[in-house]
Amino acid sequence: MQNTQATTGQTRDRRLHPRITAPERSLIAMSADYSRLPYNLADISEGGMAFLYLKDRPLFLTQNHMDIYLDKVLEIARLPVLIIADIKHKEYSTLKRRCSVQFGKMTETQRMQLKTFIAHHTVTTAPSV
């Protein structure tokens, strides 16, 4: 994977794809784990996504696949993910965290669904975090 580096002030952004703010009504969940609450999708790109959740400790993913929902409708199933960062969200209470994941190898169908989701449902460019 090719890394691109842009310097913005003192922040270095190594993302290959720009992050786009997700619609407020989009959620993500662990694939096939119906007992867990879904998380709020914060932003997304063709290379990964970030989501917000309430917990005092970082997530421990028992599986490495997540689903994306919009208005309670499954949009993309079983996206392969790898946690890149899981930090306390500086703008909120100590219990709110932001987890960033990178997508793994997707099927062609997943890749097309992701591009469609980004093209039709995202709103603005998200700030780098």
Per-residue pLDDT of 93-125, as tens digits, reads 668 899 999 999 999 999 999 999 999 988 655
* pLDDT average, residue stretch 6-29: 69
The CATH class that applies to domain 25-121 reads mainly beta
pLDDT of residue 124: 55
Q: List the chain domain ranges.
A: 25-121
Tokens of 50: 């970030």
Nearest to 99 by CA among 114, 78, 77, 83: 83
pLDDT attached to residue 62: 66
Whole-number pLDDT of residue 60: 79
Instruction: Dig out the tokens for 23 from the structure.
Output: 């619609």
CB-CB contact of 30 with 36 (8 Å): yes
Give the residue among 31, 34, 15, 123 at the shortest CA–CA distance from 75: 31
